[in-house]
Amino acid sequence: MTDAPLLIGVGHEGRCDDAAGVRAARLVRALLWPQARVIECAGGAAALIEAWQGEPVVVVVDAMSSGSPAGTVRRLDASRGPLNAELFRGSSHGLGLAEAVELARSLDQLPPSLVIFGIEGTDFGLGTRLSFPVECAVREAALLISEELLAARN
């Protein structure tokens, strides 16, 4: 653990828009290194809880499937209250982000500051291309996340 905040990019590169979180995290890494630490995670609940264990400030970015228009970017402060599992329904990670947050909360292992950025996807089938609205949203999310991480350092 260092004083740099941690960004976790969640996703699966072989499931089209599910890769949005990983792609956004890579853009942030290119923009902010070394002011932020960036890791990638397939998104399983145990792996997420382990990744953020002992971290004071964590930002997570993942694709979501809530029924909002494709490319919608949402910021959620998971440290302030329960995360609506419906926002991340249809996860290809099995027990995914929403379940990890609530499990960590119940085990008192939630980081003091946990902000989640969700990028609404439309295509979660097999493939490596992001849909056009999600490709645009990845760039938007990367900028918003960069601002969040820089603010957390102050």
Residues 48-72 pLDDT 10s: 999 999 999 999 999 999 899 999 9
Please provide residue 133's backbone torsions phi and psi, each rounded to the nearest 5 degrees.
Answer: -60, -35
What are the domain boundaries of the chain?
6-153
Instruction: Reduce the secondary structure of 28-46 to three states and give it as a string.
Output: HHHHHCCCCEEEEECCCHH
pLDDT tops 50 at residue 1: no
Question: Which two structure tokens, joined as six digits, stand for 137?
Answer: 């949203």
Superfamily name and number for 6-153: HybD-like (3.40.50.1450)
Q: What is the pTM of this model?
A: 0.92
**Residue 87 has what DSSP assignment?**
G
Which amino acid is it at 146? S
Tens-digit pLDDT profile for residues 79-118 = 898 887 777 654 444 667 888 999 999 999 999 999 999 9
Coil vs helix vs strand at 146: helix
Q: What's the rounded Cα separation, in Å, for the pair 36 and 23?
A: 16
pLDDT surpassing 80 at residue 19? yes
